[in-house]
Structures are given as C-alpha cells and as structure tokens.
C-alpha cells in the first residue's frame, strides 16, 4: 500500500532531476518546465505520503540550476569563512552553484591547466599570478571574449592582460618574513636585504619555494633577478645554496611546515607575503596586539592575482558571471581578512585591522612582463639545475 | 694394512636406511668391484668415500688417516661419475687439466700432463675439442683421464662403462683394466655386470655381503 | 607436451580473427598511436636540437645510467647468496623466504620508496644511495628466482666432480658454478637494469628534487615546465638507450649460451656441517631482515607524530589538512576509493582483452607470435612514456578523452595486459591437442571442441592474471601521474603528495596509506603466487630464458 506514493515521489524527483540536468548552456532557467512536473502527479496519491517523501521543504534554499567548478590553490579556504559565505550568496542570487576544486599550489594548478587545455578540470580559475601569467596566456588556458569590462581596476594591472583573458582580482607582495622571537632569542640581527640572506651568519635559516611549482617561489626568484640582474642572479643563488637554503615545493609547506613561528619547523626566515604578519595578529589565539613576525621590505616583489574562465568550459556564460562576481565589491570585501591580499577593486575599503598591521613596502619590485614572458622557462630551468642540481 | 678402509658406514635418507653398517677394505693397488641391484646403496657408498655425502655413522680411512670429516676436495679421492660430468664451458684439455690447475700446477706443465693422459686413453689430438660434441665413448675416456690426471690415492668408478655398445664396451674395459694395473691404482668400481667386474677388477664383492 | 611442432590448429580463422581484433585494436589505439604521437612531437621543431645540446640532458642521462649500473651490480652481488641457499638447500622457512621476496617484488614503487624513507636516517634520506638501496631490495627477488631457479637445475654432481678434483667450495663456485650460471646472470642483470633505469616511483619519493633520472625529467619537463617537445625527446632518448642495452645483452646471452645439461629440479639437501648451517641461517635471516625492515619501519612511522605515538594518522585519514581549513587538495579516503574503482575497471579490461588475446595467440600459430610480441611491448616501454603518450594524443576532439573516467583504467590495463597474457598463454599452449581430436571423434565441430575443451583451461590462469592486474593497477604511478585529474587522484599519488610534505601528521598519513597499499597488493599477489612464478614474466623483457617449474 505504501509503495504507490513512494514510487510517485521517486518519479517526481527523477523527472525534476532530469529536467535540471537537461538544462545546460541556455542562460534562462527552465522555469516553464518545473511547474509542469510539479503539478503532474494526482494529489490523492501524495496525501498518504509522509512529508519527507514529497518535495523539499520550503525553508531550504532553491536547488542551483547548475553547478560550476572554481579551481583554486591550496590556501583558498574551503568552508566556514566569509569568502565561502559570499560564494553562497552568489548561488542565492544567481542559482549558480559553486564547487571548489583545490588543485595544489599555484604552479601545480597552472601545470594541470596547461595539460588540460580545452578540456579543463573546472570552469573558472582563481589565483594565477603575474609570475605565471605569461605561461597561462601562451598556453591559452583562458577562454577569450567572455569577460565583461572590469570596474575599478588599476590600469597597470589591466595592462598585463591586454586581450581581457583574465580579471585582476587581488594584489600583494611576496617578501621574506622573519620570526621576531627567534632573532631576539639568538641575539642575531635581522637581515635587511637580499644580499644579507647569503651571509654565513644566517646559515641554514632560510626556506624558499621551488619556482617551478610555487608562485611566491617564482616571485622571490624574480626579485633576485631584479636585484642582481639577468647575469648576476646565478652567483647569488650559488651563495644561497652554499649557505644552506632549504627548498620545498609550496607555500603551505614552507610556511606551515618549515617556518619556526607558524609551522614549528627550524627555519626562521621564509618567503611568504607582506600580509602574513597581520594574519598572525588577527588570528592569534590568545589574542595579541603586536605581530610575532616581520617583513624584510627590500625583498618584496609585487604579485597580482587573476581569475578567468577556462577555455573549453561547458558553461562559459555562468563562468563569466562568477568571474564578474569575484571582482565585485561584495566578494572583494572579504579578501583582505581571508586571503590576506589587497583587493584589486579600488572601490573596496580595507578593514581596520588590516590597515593597522599590514606592511606596504615603499617600493615593491617588479619586472617587465615581456622579460618574464621571454625568459621565465629558461630561468626556472637554470635555477633548477643550479640549486637542485 | 689396507689402503682404503670403510668401516660401519650408515646412511639414512628420510626414513630409509640406504646403508646400515657397510664395511669394505681395499688393499693398495687393488681394484675391487661392487656388485648389486639398483637401490642397494652402491653409488651412495662411493659418494661417502669420495666425501660428497656425509654418512650418519661410521668412518673412512686412507692409510692411517681418518678422512671421515675431511671435505671432498682435501681427500685425494678421485671419482668418475656415471654421467661423466664434464664441464661444458671448458675444452677437453682444460677439463682434463682442471685438477692440476686447482693444485697449482703451471699452465705449460699441466697442459703437457693433461695431453699425456689423453694420449693414454687413446684420445691424442682431442685437446681443443668441445666436450659437448664428444661421443659417449670419448666422453667417458675424457672423464677417466680427468680423474687419473690428479693421481689420486683412491679412484672411484661409478658404472664407468654403462651405456656403451658392446664392442666399444669390451674394448674400453680392457683398456681401463690395463691403465689401472699400469699405474698401480687403488680403485673401487661399481657395476651391475659381473662379467665387466671380472675383466677390470681383481676382486668382486656384493653389497649384501658388505652391508649386513 | 610443449611448444615446438604443433599440429595446425583447426579453429576456423574467422573465430581467431574475431578474438584477435579486440586486443589488436586496443593495442593500436592506446599504445601504438600514442607512441607515434610521441615520436612525432619529439622530432618536430627544435626540440631535438634544444634538448640534446643542453648539458643538463647528458648529465641526467649519465646519472640515470650509472645509478642503474650500480644498483644492478649491488643487487647481483647481494642476491647471489640467497639464490644459492634457496637453490641448493632445504631449510625451515624456505618457502616463506621465497614468498617474502616475491611479495617485495610486486610492491608498488611508491610503497618501496615510502618504506625506505621511513627506514633510513635523515642524513641518507633523499640521496642517491637511498634510491640504490631501495632498488637492491626491490630486485632481490629477480636474482633469487631467476638465478636460483636456474641454479636448481644445474647438476649437483658437476660441483661434486670438481670437488673430487680438489676444488674447494670457493673454487667450485668461481670455476664451475659461475660460468654455468652466466645465462641466467645476464638475464637477471638485464631485467634489473631495465627496472632501475626506468625507475620512477622510487626516485620520486626517495630522491631529493635534484635526483633526476630521465624518467623524472620527462615528467618534470612535461608537467611543471610545459616543455612537451623536450620531454618527448627525452622519452625517445631513454628508449634508445634501453633498446641498445637490451639488444647488447640478448646478443651476449646468445653468445654465451651453451648446451648445459639442465636437469629437472635437483634434490635440495639440509645443511649438514655447522659451518653450512651457520651460513644458510645467516643468509636466510639476513635476507628476510633486509626485506622486512623497511616495511616494518613504514608501518611504524604511521603511528608516529611530532608528540610521540598516536593513531591520529589513521583515524583522521579522511582529511589531509595542513591546517584546519587548509586542505591539500586531495582526500586520502577518496584516493583509496578511486584506486579501488580504477583497479576494478582496469582488471576487467585487462582480463577481457587478455583472455581474447591469449586464446587467439594459442590458436593462431605463427601469426600469433606477432600479436604475442606486440602485446609485450608495453613492458618494454616505461609507464611514464605510456601515460605521457596517451596524454598528448587524446587531447583534441574528437578524441579528447582526458576527462573520461575510463582513461586511467585503460592506461593501467595496458601496463597489466602483458602479465595477464603471459600467465594464460603458457597454459593454453600446453594443452594436449589430442583432446580436441578426441572431441572431434565424438562429434564436436572445431569451434565447439575448442570451446568445450580448450577454453576451460583458461579460467585458472586468468584468475591469477586478474589478481596481478589488480595489484598492478593499485600500485601504478608513472602513467597515472600524467593522466589523473584533480579529484581523481589514486593512492600512489596521494602517498607521494603526503610524503613530500614537511608536516609530521601528513607524513604519518602518507605512511598509513602506503601500509594499506602494501597489504592490499601483497595479499592479492601472494595468494596467487603459488600458482605461478611472477618474476618469470619479467624474463620476456630481456629475452632471457625461462625455466620450466
């Protein structure tokens, strides 16, 4: 006797699901189809059924009509932060669900994208930065002509993506961070320049990331090229190598693994972000009002991150909508306190704590993008042979 | 006093007693034939004397030396195997001269002595031949020459003439007998053929006689 | 009754053709075509000039060569004693020891890497000597089962004869045993060289970022640097070196082949003298310790954390987190599920194609030999090359299969197929054809007779092949490194990722996963190893002779 209502509900849900799935690239939701299936079954069959057998309760949010995948790096929060809440709000507003796919560190994320061009692992990519951008553009990982015109983004950032392939979403600085406590305890003066890092006084104290796989790693390499020139950086790195520099694959490994303060490791000098010290204050438990870590300003390299639609996606329009949202004030307002970067959208006001503790270096290093474009691959190759050899 | 004395040898494989109290005395320059059906332990007894099989009980003496616990390569007992066991990776002359090489004899001398032995068994000129291409009779003679070349104090022969056709068999039997006498070799010969034993050996014994 | 002059098979050729078409098509599409694409990419443009003129290329090639030679040499030296005792002596635990060595041999490369990572002190960690040590233990089984098996068939009396001529044990070994063993030594050496030259998983895990072999370079250039052309050139270079070494070794083997009168298994004996007993015991125990220690260390490390002993790695296996909220981008339990799913599909593919192929080969006579050799090709090509080839071939419509769920299982099936075929073909070939004749006289048509009489012989070896295929798929790392996508990671990939981290919990999780993988693989293979000599299959690669067991 109970089987009839259950079968009817199953049919109902099945038809609904089929209706949802069949809707793909057309932008308009199949609003016309859904009511039809909803009203199909005769009411008499449903009155015997328990509430749980029928349509979902009305206080639940509407099922997204489509879900797209946002590919990102491993330090992007997966859940429970205001960034994730913002993405949920996006889903509410547009009925486009967003699923996060963590692909590894930036370099790994790019490698995977490069190998899957045309058949990408997701629809939108967040987090490709200016150091890796040239490879991304060369390999054509972004879909062209789908992004709307960006609002409130500084012109110098836009210059890096002349064909509008991607949207600049945030910026910051990659700098060498140091553990204040360590240097105090060991009565060591804090290094103040790139050259200092090669000083034997700081032997075995520095951890960096592999520029082939990590964007801060590549940024640091580029900083050294900016300082010592295209012909002089090799000698510098030889000095670093002789001085016992440790190389790990990614930022999370370096910061939460080898760094003395955040990771309990044995290296008090780590390549990280200019915004890492504020993070240490804001999330300190027990609370504190001074930062336990500091930044060596002269090592800083300007980093700009981008988001874009991946070429070959099945849902270019929805993906473009998400990218627009990622550049909107609503989303950009959450960047500072979650990812510890500056929003590219200049209309967004920064939170107070960020202003209090963030270090914005007077001058941050940059390199001509064309230069990076031409030499990046050779530089990485040379570096690998030299340092990892 | 006997040159070779085998006293109360017992050998047990799993649960079978192959030999119980085998006893055999052989005088100097004597050739003794061991007769008996297959499975009676003839080959086993030879292996014990040669030192390649450890007995569970009993002793073996050569002259006044108890060689029971001596490893095979230190006993000075030579053995010609039923299937020859020529070393396929060595030439005929290298096979024959192998024992001399192990003993440290210089190359020229051992090649000469080896060639001499080949001559004695009627295989002059066979030095460079590939041993895997020898006929049955030739292989047997090379095996014999190899063992005799080391001039062991005792020579053991395990069915040395098995598998040969009648004419060759008889011819070799006579040759072998002559060789043993000429060089005053103390030998124990295992065979199932009493006629062959008569030709080659000076005395025949049966396994059931010596192993009670 | 074995190969040689066989009566012409009476199975209608259309049936044979129908059987052969599937495996041939599979081989052509998923192996030959990617191979051709790889070659084309390699010779296209400046890749050849650029790569070969780079000094680093030759450094890497040289390094790969010398570590393989050293690994092979040490393995052969270390493996002689165990081979000897297994061949000649009966001792308690002999079967166990052989089983242990076989289990080690079939372990996934990442597990072996993990085991040695756990065992060796930090100073040796990630050095080339760690890699070599892992190679030695890995390949001991090859020595014992190849050389040991051959040794078992050398007449013991030859050694006795030498003894009666005055040669001491050592002289017997040097003058008699070694020269006679040479064919098996060459075969074993060639196999071990092949494995260590193309070693990928072990080097990835145990080597530092700077320990770079050709295999690693192919992967690194293709994935991290995006230099597909350069990677393709390196792939071809590696194949060229391998082909040169294999052909040299085959020629050398043929030159030294001599008519050794191999006997059926010579009776083994118990060690008698105290000296002998001590020797056998110490070699047996030493070998067992060498094999068990790394695995034990690996299991133990999964219970270690920065604060002492804990089961956290196991209980928290569902999440791989660097910090709460910061995930690694892979889920260990998901990886386990992926691996199992891939293994199920890969086994099905390999078994289906393998069954068809073996039936066709066994029935086809001379034509079958071509298919036989063709199906063995994937063994000679490294898994990295296979995966790489597939990746760059199936990346444009209409064959853009990169996202298809079946691509990884197909890659695995390709690697496993030769093993499935080898286990079944031998059995099928040895079936007495008179059985078919008998069925014919009872009224069965050729096809009917074949189905009722020959095919039933297939199932048992096929079960063995299936277990092997599953084990291979579970542990496959080289091809999967190219073909897997985010979210579809397999256990070996997860293990590599976790062990590359500096966090102790993450590393412990890596060891836990490696332990799981080890247990799964060993259970699969040891269960069936009593039915078939797994290491004998590797002979095909080096063209060595197999010995009937």
**Residue C160: which of B52, B74, B98 has the nearest Cβ?**
B52
Cα B144 to Cα B140: distance, rounded to the nearest angstrom: 6
Q: B155 - beta bridge partners? A: B78, B187
Give the minimum alpha-carbon distance from A183 to chain C in angstroms, rounded to a whole number: 23
Residue B198 makes CB contacts below 8 A (sequence gap 6+) with: B204
Decide: helix, strand or coil at residue A171.
Answer: strand
Considering only CB atoms, which chain B residues are within 8 Å of C162?
A: 87, 98
Spans of chain C, pLDDT less than 70:
1-10, 123-125, 256-263, 265, 320, 322-327, 529-549
Cα B151 to Cα C78: distance, rounded to the nearest angstrom: 38
Cα C223 to Cα A288: distance, rounded to the nearest angstrom: 43
Three-state SS for chain A is: CCHHHHHHHHHHHHHHHHHHHHCCCCCCCCCCHHHHHHCCCCHHHHHCCCHHHCCCCCCCCCCCCEEEEEEECCCCCCCCCHHHHHHHHHHHHHCEEEEEEECCCHHHHHHHHHHCCCCCCCCEEEEEEHHHHHHHHHHCCECCCCCCCCCCCCHHHHCCCCCCCEEEEEEEEEEEEEEHHHHHHCCCCCCCCCHHHHCHHHCCCEEEECCCCCHHHHHHHHHHHHHHCCCCHHHHHHHHHHCCCEEECCHHHHHHHHEHHHHCCCECEEEEECCHHHHHHHCCCCCCCCCCEEEEEEEEEEEEEEEEEECCCCCHHHHHHHHHHHCCHHHHCCHHHHHCCEECCCCCCCCHHHHHHCCCCCCCECCCHHHHHHHHHHHHHHHHHHHHC
pLDDT at C410: 94
Q: Which two tokens mark C473? A: 């798929």
pLDDT at C270: 81
- The answer to whether residue C407 neighbours chain B at the CB level (below 8 Å) is no
Residue C121: other Cβ atoms inside 10 A? 7
Sign of CA dihedral A329, A335, A336, A338: positive
Considering only CB atoms, which chain A residues are within 8 Å of C487?
A: 101, 121
Cα B147 to Cα C348: distance, rounded to the nearest angstrom: 61
Considering only CB atoms, which chain C residues are within 8 Å of A253?
A: 322, 500-503
- The answer to whether residue C175 neighbours chain B at the CB level (below 8 Å) is yes
CA dihedral B151, B153, B159, B160 (to 10 degrees): 20
**Residue B150: which of C155, C160, C165 has the nearest Cβ?**
C165
Spans of chain A, pLDDT less than 70:
1-62, 389
- What angle (nearest 5°) sits at the alpha carbon of residue C203, between those of residues C198 and C208? 145
- What angle (nearest 5°) sits at the alpha carbon of residue B79, between those of residues B76 and B80? 150
Cα B191 to Cα B180: distance, rounded to the nearest angstrom: 16
Give the minimum alpha-carbon distance from A71 to chain C in angstroms, rounded to a whole number: 9
A171, A304 contact by CB (below 8 A) = yes
Cα A350 to Cα A345: distance, rounded to the nearest angstrom: 11
Q: Does B79 sit within 8 Å of C160, measured CB to CB?
A: yes
**Residue B77: which of C164, C258, C259 has the nearest Cβ?**
C164
Question: Nearest chain A Cα to C504, which residue?
Answer: A257
Q: A267 - beta bridge partners? A: A259
Sign of CA dihedral A370, A371, A374, A380: negative
Give the minimum alpha-carbon distance from C225 to chain A in angstroms, rounded to a whole number: 7
Q: pTM for this structure? A: 0.81
**Residue A212: which of C225, C306, C323 has the nearest Cβ?**
C225
With tokens 């020579």, the residue in question is: B155
- The answer to whether residue C263 neighbours chain B at the CB level (below 8 Å) is no
Looking at chain A, which subunits does it touch, using at least 3 CB pairs closer than 8 Å as the criterion?
Answer: C
Which residue of A257, A260, A312, A380 is the best one to mutate when testing the C interface, meaning the one whose CB has the most C CBs within 10 A?
Answer: A257
Q: Decide: A and B in contact? Rule: 3+ Cβ pairs under 8 Å.
A: no
Considering only CB atoms, which chain A residues are within 8 Å of C226?
A: 111, 114, 135, 139, 377
Nearest in space to A167 (alpha carbons), one of A143, A199, A189: A143
Give the minimum alpha-carbon distance from A68 to chain C in angstroms, rounded to a whole number: 15
Give the minimum alpha-carbon distance from A388 to chain C in angstroms, rounded to a whole number: 4
**Residue B72: which of C155, C163, C259 has the nearest Cβ?**
C163
Residue C368 makes CB contacts below 8 A (sequence gap 6+) with: C360, C361, C362
**Residue C486: which of A101, A117, A265 has the nearest Cβ?**
A101
Give the minimum alpha-carbon distance from B73 to chain C in angstroms, rounded to a whole number: 4
Decide: helix, strand or coil at residue A124.
Answer: strand
Q: Does B54 sit within 8 Å of C273, measured CB to CB?
A: yes
Question: Nearest chain C Cα to A266, which residue?
Answer: C502
Q: Decide: C and A in contact? Rule: 3+ Cβ pairs under 8 Å.
A: yes
Cα radius of gyration (chain B): 17
Decide: helix, strand or coil at residue A267.
Answer: strand
Residue C541: other Cβ atoms inside 10 A? 18
**Residue B89: which of C179, C272, C273 has the nearest Cβ?**
C179
Cα A291 to Cα A278: distance, rounded to the nearest angstrom: 7
- What angle (nearest 5°) sits at the alpha carbon of residue A85, between those of residues A83 and A91? 110
- What angle (nearest 5°) sits at the alpha carbon of residue A76, between those of residues A70 and A81? 100
Question: Nearest chain C Cα to B149, which residue?
Answer: C165
pLDDT at C428: 84
Cα C168 to Cα B71: distance, rounded to the nearest angstrom: 8
Which residue of C153, C165, C167, C175 is the best one to mutate when testing the B interface, meaning the one whose CB has the most B CBs within 10 A?
Answer: C165
Tally C-beta pairs within 8 A across B and C: 79
Question: Nearest chain A Cα to C60, which residue?
Answer: A389
Cα C333 to Cα C320, C401, C511, distances in angstroms: 9, 26, 14
A35, A324 contact by CB (below 8 A) = no
**In C107-177, alpha helices (H):** 109-119, 128-142, 148-152, 156-164, 169-171
Cα C465 to Cα C458: distance, rounded to the nearest angstrom: 10
Q: Does B102 sit within 8 Å of C164, measured CB to CB?
A: no
B202, B177 contact by CB (below 8 A) = no
Q: Does C225 sit within 8 Å of A377, measured CB to CB?
A: yes
A246, A207 contact by CB (below 8 A) = yes
Question: Nearest chain B Cα to C267, which residue?
Answer: B13
Helix axes C228-256, C214-223, angle to 10 degrees: 160
Give the minimum alpha-carbon distance from C140 to chain B in angstroms, rounded to a whole number: 27
Give the minimum alpha-carbon distance from A135 to chain C in angstroms, rounded to a whole number: 9
Decide: helix, strand or coil at residue A270.
Answer: strand
pLDDT in tens, A132-144: 898 899 889 999 8
B99, B146 contact by CB (below 8 A) = yes
A140, A327 contact by CB (below 8 A) = no
pLDDT in tens, B105-116: 999 999 999 999
Q: Which two tokens mark B64? A: 């006044």
pLDDT at B144: 92
Residue A74 makes CB contacts below 8 A (sequence gap 6+) with: A102, A103, A104, A105, A250, A252, C322, C326, C327, C328, C329
Per-residue DSSP letter, A61: P
Q: What burial class does residue C293 get, using C-beta atoms within 10 Å of its C-beta: 0-12 exposed, 13-18 middle, 19+ buried?
A: middle
**Residue B79: which of C161, C168, C273 has the nearest Cβ?**
C161
Question: Nearest chain C Cα to A122, which residue?
Answer: C486
Q: Nearest 5°: phi and psi at C391?
A: -60, -45
Per-residue pLDDT of chain B (212 residues; tens, 9 = 90+): 678 999 999 998 888 888 989 999 999 999 999 998 877 889 899 999 998 888 989 999 998 999 998 888 888 899 999 888 899 888 999 999 999 998 889 999 999 999 999 998 989 999 999 998 999 889 999 999 999 999 888 999 999 888 788 888 888 899 899 989 998 899 999 998 888 899 999 999 998 888 76
């Amino acid at each position: 006797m109970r089987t009839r209502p259950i079968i009817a509900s199953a049919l109902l849900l099945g038809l609904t699901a089929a209706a949802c799935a069949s809707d793909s690239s057309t932008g308009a939701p199949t609003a016309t189809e859904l009511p039809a299936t909803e009203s199909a079954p005769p009411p008499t069959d449903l009155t015997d059924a328990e509430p749980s057998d029928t349509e979902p309760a009305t206080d639940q949010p509407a099922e997204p009509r489509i879900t797209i995948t946002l590919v990102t790096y491993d330090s992007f929060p997966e859940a429970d932060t205001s960034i994730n809440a913002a993405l949920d709000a996006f889903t509410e507003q547009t009925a486009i669900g967003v699923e996060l796919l963590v692909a590894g560190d930036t370099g790994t994320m790019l490698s995977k994208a490069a190998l899957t061009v045309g058949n990408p692992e997701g629809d939108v990519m967040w987090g490709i930065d200016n150091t890796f951008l040239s490879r991304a553009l060369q390999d054509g990982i972004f879909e062209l002509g789908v992004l709307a015109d960006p609002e409130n983004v500084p012109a110098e950032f836009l210059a890096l993506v002349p064909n509008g392939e991607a949207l600049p979403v945030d910026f910051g600085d990659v700098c060498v961070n140091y553990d204040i406590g360590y240097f105090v305890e060991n009565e060591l003066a804090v290094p103040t320049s790139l050259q200092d890092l090669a000083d034997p006084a700081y032997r075995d104290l520095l951890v960096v990331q592999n520029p082939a796989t990590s964007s801060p790693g590549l940024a640091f390499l580029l900083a050294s090229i900016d300082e010592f020139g295209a012909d002089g950086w090799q000698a510098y790195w030889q000095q670093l190598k002789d001085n016992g520099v440790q190389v790990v694959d990614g930022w999370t490994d370096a910061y939460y693994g080898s760094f003395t303060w955040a990771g309990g490791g044995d290296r008090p000098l780590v390549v990280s972000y200019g915004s890492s010290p504020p993070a240490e204050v804001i999330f300190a438990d027990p609370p504190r009002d001074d930062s336990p870590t500091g930044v060596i300003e002269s090592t800083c390299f300007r980093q700009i991150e981008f988001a874009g639609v991946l070429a070959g996606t099945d849902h270019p329009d929805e993906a473009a909508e998400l990218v627009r949202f990622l550049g909107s004030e609503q989303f950009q307002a959450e960047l500072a306190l979650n990812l510890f970067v500056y929003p590219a959208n200049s209309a967004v006001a920064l939170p107070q704590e960020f202003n209090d503790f963030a270090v914005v270096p007077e001058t941050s290093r940059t390199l001509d993008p064309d230069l990076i474009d031409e030499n990046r691959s050779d530089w990485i190759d040379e570096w690998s042979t030299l340092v990892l050899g | 006093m006997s040159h070779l004395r085998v006293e109360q040898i017992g050998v047990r494989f799993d649960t079978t007693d192959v030999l119980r109290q085998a006893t055999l005395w052989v005088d100097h320059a004597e050739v003794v034939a061991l007769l008996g059906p297959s499975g009676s332990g003839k080959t086993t007894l030879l292996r014990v004397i040669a030192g390649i099989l450890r007995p569970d009980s009993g002793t073996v003496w050569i002259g006044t030396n108890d060689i029971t616990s001596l490893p095979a390569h230190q006993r000075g007992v030579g053995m010609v195997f039923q299937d020859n066991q020529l070393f396929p990776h060595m030439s005929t002359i290298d096979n024959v001269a192998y024992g001399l090489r192990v003993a440290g004899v210089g190359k020229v001398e051992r090649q000469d002595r080896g060639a001499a032995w080949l001559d004695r068994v009627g295989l002059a000129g066979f030095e460079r031949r590939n041993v895997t291409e020898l006929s049955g009779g030739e292989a047997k003679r090379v095996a014999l020459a190899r063992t005799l070349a080391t001039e062991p104090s005792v020579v053991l022969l395990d069915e040395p003439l098995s598998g040969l056709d009648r004419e060759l068999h008889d011819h070799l039997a006579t040759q072998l007998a002559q060789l043993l006498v000429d060089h005053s070799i103390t030998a124990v010969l295992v065979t199932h053929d009493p006629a062959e034993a008569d030709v080659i050996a000076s005395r025949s014994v049966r396994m059931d006689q010596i192993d009670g | 009754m074995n190969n040689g002059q066989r009566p012409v098979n009476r199975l209608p050729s259309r049936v044979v053709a129908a059987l052969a078409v599937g495996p041939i098509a599979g081989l052509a599409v998923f192996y030959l075509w990617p191979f051709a694409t790889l070659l084309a990419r390699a010779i296209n443009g400046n890749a050849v000039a650029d790569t070969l003129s780079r000094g680093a290329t030759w450094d890497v090639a040289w390094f790969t060569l010398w570590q393989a030679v050293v690994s092979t040499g040490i393995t052969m030296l270390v493996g002689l004693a165990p081979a000897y005792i297994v061949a000649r002596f009966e001792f308690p635990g002999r079967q166990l020891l052989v089983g242990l060595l076989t289990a080690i041999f079939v372990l996934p490369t990442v597990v072996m890497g993990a085991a040695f990572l756990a065992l060796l002190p930090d100073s040796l960690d990630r050095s080339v000597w760690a890699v070599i040590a892992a190679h030695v233990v890995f390949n001991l089984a090859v020595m014992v089962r190849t050389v040991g098996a051959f040794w078992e068939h050398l007449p013991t009396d030859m050694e006795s004869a030498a003894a009666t001529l005055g040669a001491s044990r050592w002289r017997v070994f040097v003058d008699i045993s070694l020269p006679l063993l040479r064919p098996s030594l060459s075969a074993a050496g060639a196999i071990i060289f092949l494995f260590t030259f193309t070693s990928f998983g072990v080097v990835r895990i145990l080597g530092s970022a700077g320990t770079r072999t050709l295999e690693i370079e192919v992967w690194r250039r293709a994935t991290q640097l995006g230099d597909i052309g350069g990677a393709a050139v390196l792939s071809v270079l590696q194949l060229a070196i391998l082909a040169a070494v294999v052909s040299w070794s085959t020629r050398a083997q043929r030159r030294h082949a001599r008519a050794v009168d191999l006997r059926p298994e010579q009776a083994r004996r118990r060690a008698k003298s105290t000296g002998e007993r001590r020797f056998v015991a110490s070699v047996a125990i030493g070998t067992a310790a060498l094999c068990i220690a790394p695995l034990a260390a690996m299991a133990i490390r999964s219970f270690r954390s920065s604060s002492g002993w804990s089961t956290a790695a196991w209980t928290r296996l569902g999440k791989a987190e660097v910090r709460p909220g910061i995930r690694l981008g892979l889920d260990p339990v998901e990886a386990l599920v992926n691996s199992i799913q891939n293994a199920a599909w890969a086994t099905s593919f390999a078994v289906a194609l393998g069954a068809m192929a073996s039936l066709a080969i066994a029935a086809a006579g001379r034509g079958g030999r071509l298919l036989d050799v063709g199906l063995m090709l994937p063994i000679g090509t490294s898994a990295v090359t296979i995966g790489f080839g597939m990746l760059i071939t199936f990346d444009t419509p209409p064959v853009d299969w990169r996202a298809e769920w079946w691509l990884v299982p197909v890659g695995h099936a390709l690697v496993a197929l030769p093993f499935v075929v080898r286990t079944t073909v031998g059995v099928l070939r040895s079936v007495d054809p008179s059985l078919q004749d008998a069925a014919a006289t009872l009224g069965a048509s050729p096809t009917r007779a074949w189905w009722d009489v020959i095919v039933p012989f297939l199932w048992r070896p096929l079960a063995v092949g299936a277990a092997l295929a599953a084990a291979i798929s579970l542990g496959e790392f080289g091809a999967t490194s190219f073909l897997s996508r985010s979210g579809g990671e397999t256990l070996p990939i997860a293990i590599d990722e976790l062990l590359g981290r500096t966090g102790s919990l993450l590393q412990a999780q890596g060891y836990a996963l490696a332990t799981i993988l080890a247990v799964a693989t060993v259970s699969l293979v040891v269960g069936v190893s009593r039915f078939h000599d797994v290491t004998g299959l590797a002979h095909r690669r080096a063209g060595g002779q197999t010995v009937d067991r």
